[in-house]
Amino acid sequence: MTEGLRERKKLATRQALHLAALQLVAERGLDAVSVDDIAERAQVSSRTFFNYFPSKVDAVVGLDPTTPFQVSSDFSARPATESPVQALRAVQRARAQEMAEEEELWPLRMTVIDAHPSLVQRLIAAFGEAELALAEAIAERTGTRVGVDVYPTLLAAVQGCAMRISLQRWVATDFTASLPDLVDEAWDALAAGLPAPPRAAT
C-alpha cells in the first residue's frame, strides 16, 4: 500500500516533529520553545530535526514545500472559459474546503501562527515562493508577459493577500465562519474593484 517502511517512517517523523512544535508553541509561546525541546518530544535527536526542517519556524508552520505550487497547477487545470479571477476564486474555495475539513490540524495551526508575527511572516513567504509560477500561469492564460505587464504579477500577489486575509478572519471568528465563504467575500470585493461598501443603515 504505502511505499515502503522507509517512506512511512520519514512521514511519521515529519508529522511528529510538526505536531510537537505546534503543541509546545501553543503551550509556552515561540520564544520559550527550543529546537531541542521539539526534537525531544518527537523522540529524535536535535540534529535529525534539521534533516526535516531548516528552522524552528518552518517546523511550526509545517507546510509541505510543494504545497504552494499546487495553486498554480490547480489554476492551470481550470477551464479556459473562466476569467483568471473566477479561476483563482474557485481554486481557493477548493483549497479552503480542504483546510476546513482537517478540523484537528488547521485551526490549531492557524491559532498558533496568528499569535506570532514571525510565523505569519513565514506563512506569507510560503505563498510568495509560488508567486512567480502562478504569475507565469496567469500570463500564459491571458497572453500577457511577466516582467512587462502588471497584470500577472499583481494578480498572483493579490491572490496571496486574499487567502491570507481570509485565514486571518477565520481565526478571528474562532473558526465559526465558513472558510470558503470568507474566501468568496474577499473575491467579491476584489472583483468589484474594492469600492467603499454601502454604509449600513443604523
Partner DNA sequence: GCGGAATGTTGCACGCTCTGCAAGTTTGCA
Partner DNA sequence: TGCAAACTTGCAGAGCGTGCAACATTCCGC
| Binding interface with a copy of itself (CB under 8 A) | 83-85, 117, 120-121, 124-125, 128, 141-144, 147, 149-151, 153-155, 157-158, 160-162, 164-165, 168-169, 172, 182, 185-186, 189-197, 199-200
Sign of CA dihedral 58, 63, 67, 71: negative
Min CB(61)–a copy of itself separation in Å: 13
Choose from a copy of itself, DNA, none: what does 13 bind? Cβ within 5-8 Å by kind.
Answer: DNA
Q: Does 9 bind DNA (CB under 7 A)?
A: yes
Site string for DNA, 27-46 (x = CB under 7 A): ------xxxx-------xxx
Q: Which is nearer to DNA, 52 or 187 (CB)?
A: 52
User: How far apart are the C-alpha atoms of 83 and 114, rounded to whole Å?
Assistant: 32
For the record, the C-alpha cell of 61 comes out as 508552520
All residues at 6 or more sequence positions from 118 whose CB lies less than 8 Å from its CB, including other chains: 30, 57
54 belongs to the binding site for DNA (CB under 7 A): yes
CB of 196 to DNA, least distance (A): 41
**3-class secondary structure for 2-45?**
CCHHHHHHHHHHHHHHHHHHHHHHHHHCHHHCCHHHHHHHCCCC
Contact 156, 131 (CB under 8 A): yes
Work out which of 28, 55, 77, 118 binds DNA, going by CB under 7 A: 55
Q: Rounded CA gap, 81 and 178, in Å? A: 27
Contact residues toward DNA (CB under 7 A) are 4-7, 9-10, 13, 33-36, 44-48, 50-52, 54-56
